[in-house]
């Protein structure tokens, strides 16, 4: 299914960037989960552009849950969230006609939908749709939090500027989830923001690498082979616009290690089994081992740049050039972080429901 993902908990996304509404349908939620509007609003705020590093299209993200909730709790039937689009400005795009924007889904959407697609602002492929993903992810995050499972993501590197990795994972997750610009080291945060601003002054954009941690997942969750924790998380992560790479544990850095160094030594104490390193990122054979799940996500530079680029007019089938107008972030990585947290929450909710049953999240 093109717009639906998940087994025991499924999410369907709908809407276009410049249509009246975007939204999500969650099917498979346990009955009785309290809808935490503070958390939903907080996560939507983290996704919204802010400050000098954000686009001028700042939507209020007013959402409405139109089904699946009664007296503040989930009923267990499909839950539909609607988010109104209020700041669309299609004139920015009409001026461009059918000139394809490099780095966007304009050409591929045209090939698939034969020109019937609403291309304004990227239509169904727009980063705007991630607001619905985050609202849905916030509901899953709230349910996971009630099971003492927390998720956090920071910018690990951007244009060669590097933040420190996770250290005290539960404290780091709590800290980073309060930051609109998610970087641990203040000097690294400052340098990254400067880099984004300087790219913006040149009409350009930057990307970077996110690092995520999940704390509190017990051992034994996940399926062998095709529904491994890595497979499902990657599937969901690659659905996020602008994500171009995912690695678990040491991932691609593993080539520098010998097997004797890469293996995580196993110990046990009164509390249970643990490993003294976590090079495998908390996953063995696709199944959680009880250590924190650690992964990285590569986010490409925002495709809408204001410098002139070669492209084509698809209606005339002529070579031309394009200079993007409209409102765009010089970097989206600091906003993408909460989208990463959201899809992670949805996948873990799904896997836990598969392991322990769909009523697992009932209070
Ligand atoms: C939260 C978020 C916001 C985004 N905002 C913008 C934006 O303002 N301008 C833009 O050009 N791309 C933005 N993108 C990225 C594009 O939507 C994406 O690169 C494009 O649809 C092509 O998809 P692909 O990069 O996965 O191939 C955003 C992505 C995310 C995750």
Tell me the C-alpha distance between 299 and 301, whole Å: 7
d(CA 315, ligand 1 centre) in Å: 24
Which residue has the CA at smallest separation from atom 27 of ligand 1? 242
pLDDT in tens, 237-261: 999 999 999 999 999 999 999 999 9
Atom number of ligand 1 nearest to Cα 327 = 8
Q: How many CB atoms lie within 10 A of CB 115?
A: 11
Host H or E run for residue 154: strand 150-158
Which residue has the CA at smallest separation from atom 4 of ligand 1? 127
DSSP H helices in the chain: 37-47, 91-94, 106-113, 130-145, 169-176, 186-201, 229-237, 259-262, 333-356
Identify whether the C-beta of residue 141 lies closer than 8 Å to the C-beta of residue 341: yes
Of 57, 102, 203, 332, the one to substitute when testing ligand 1's pocket (max ligand atoms within 8 A of C-beta) is 332
Global pTM?
0.96
Tell me the C-alpha distance between 325 and 321, whole Å: 13
Concatenated DSSP letters of 2-43? -SEE-SSSEEEEEE-TTSSEEEEEEESPPTT-B--HHHHHHH
Query: Which residue, among 145, 188, 148, 192, has the nearest Cα to 165 in the 3D structure?
Result: 188
Q: What burial letters (b/e) apply to 144-177, b meaning 16+ CB within 10 Å? A: beebebbbbbbbbbbeebbbeebeebeebbeebb
- Both tokens of 202, joined, read 């040149």
Of 103, 119, 302, the one to substitute when testing ligand 1's pocket (max ligand atoms within 8 A of C-beta) is 302
Question: Ligand 1 in contact with 55 (CB < 6 A)?
Answer: yes
d(CA 130, ligand 1 centre) in Å: 9
Question: Ligand 1 in contact with 105 (CB < 6 A)?
Answer: yes
Q: Is the pLDDT of residue 54 over 70?
A: no
d(CA 70, ligand 1 centre) in Å: 35
Phi, psi of 113 (to 5 degrees): -105, 5
Question: Ligand 1 in contact with 210 (CB < 6 A)?
Answer: no
CA distances from 279 to 227, 235, 264, 265, 274 (A): 21, 21, 6, 10, 13
Of 57, 104, 242, the one to substitute when testing ligand 1's pocket (max ligand atoms within 8 A of C-beta) is 242
Host H or E run for residue 155: strand 150-158
- Cβ-based neighbours of 113, under 8 Å, separated by 6 or more: none
The per-residue pLDDT for 300 is 98
Structure confidence at residue 88 as a pLDDT band (50, 70, 90)? low
Concatenated DSSP letters of 298-354? EEPPPS--SS-EEEEETTTTEEEEE---S---S--HHHHHHHHHHHHHHHHHHHHHH
Question: Ligand 1 in contact with 302 (CB < 6 A)?
Answer: yes
Select the CATH number that applies to the domain covering 4-356 from these four: 1.20.1250.20, 3.30.310.220, 3.60.150.10, 3.90.1170.50: 3.60.150.10
Which residue has the CA at smallest separation from atom 1 of ligand 1? 336
Percent of the chain whose pLDDT exceeds 70:
94
d(CA 241, ligand 1 centre) in Å: 5
Question: Ligand 1 in contact with 130 (CB < 6 A)?
Answer: yes
Structure confidence at residue 60 as a pLDDT band (50, 70, 90)? confident
In 197-282, the DSSP E strands lie at: 208-215, 243-248, 266-269, 272-275
Structure confidence at residue 181 as a pLDDT band (50, 70, 90)? very high
Phi, psi of 307 (to 5 degrees): -85, 155
Which residue has the CA at smallest separation from atom 20 of ligand 1? 104
pLDDT in tens, 265-308: 999 999 899 999 999 999 999 999 999 999 999 999 999 999 99
Structure confidence at residue 347 as a pLDDT band (50, 70, 90)? very high
Query: Which residue, among 209, 96, 222, 219, has the nearest Cα to 163 in the 3D structure?
Result: 209
- Both tokens of 130, joined, read 């991630």
Query: Which residue, among 104, 146, 99, has the nearest Cα to 124 in the 3D structure?
Result: 104
The per-residue pLDDT for 120 is 85
The per-residue pLDDT for 126 is 92
Average pLDDT value for the chain: 94
Which DSSP state fits 84? E
Question: Ligand 1 in contact with 336 (CB < 6 A)?
Answer: yes
């Amino acid at each position: 299914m093109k717009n639906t993902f998940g087994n025991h908990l499924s999410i369907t996304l709908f809407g276009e960037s410049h249509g009246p509404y975007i939204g999500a349908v969650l099917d498979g939620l346990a009955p009785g989960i309290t809808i935490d509007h503070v958390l939903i609003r907080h996560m939507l705020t983290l996704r919204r552009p802010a400050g000098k590093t954000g686009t001028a299209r700042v939507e209020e993200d007013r959402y409405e849950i139109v089904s699946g909730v009664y007296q503040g709790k989930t009923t267990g039937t499909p839950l539909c969230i609607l988010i109104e689009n209020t700041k669309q400005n299609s004139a920015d795009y009409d001026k461009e006609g059918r000139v394809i924007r490099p780095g966007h889904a304009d050409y591929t959407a045209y090939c698939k939908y034969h020109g019937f697609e609403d291309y304004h602002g990227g239509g169904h492929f727009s980063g705007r749709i991630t607001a619905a993903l985050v609202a849905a992810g916030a509901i899953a995050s709230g349910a996971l939090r009630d099971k003492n499972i927390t998720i956090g993501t920071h910018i690990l590197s951007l244009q060669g500027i590097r933040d420190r990795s996770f250290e005290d994972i539960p404290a780091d997750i709590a800290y980073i989830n309060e930051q609109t610009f998610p970087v641990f080291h203040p000097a690294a945060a400052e340098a990254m923001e400067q880099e984004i601003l300087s790219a913006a002054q040149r009409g350009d954009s930057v990307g970077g690498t996110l690092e995520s941690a999940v704390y509190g997942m017990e051992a034994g969750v996940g399926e062998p082979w095709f529904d491994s924790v890595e497979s499902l998380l990657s599937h969901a992560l690659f659905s996020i616009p602008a994500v171009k790479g995912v690695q678990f544990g040491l991932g691609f850095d593993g080539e520098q290690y010998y097997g004797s160094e890469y293996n995580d030594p196993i110990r046990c104490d009164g509390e249970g089994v643990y490993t003294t390193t976590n090079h495998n990122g908390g996953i063995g054979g696709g199944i959680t081992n009880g250590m924190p799940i650690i992964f990285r996500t590569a986010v490409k530079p925002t495709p809408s740049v204001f410098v002139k680029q070669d492209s084509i007019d698809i209606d005339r089938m002529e070579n031309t050039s394009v200079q993007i107008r409209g409102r765009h972030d010089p970097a989206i990585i600091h906003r993408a972080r909460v989208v990463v947290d959201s899809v992670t929450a949805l996948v873990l909710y799904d896997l836990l429901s598969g392991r322990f049953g769909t009523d697992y999240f009932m209070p």
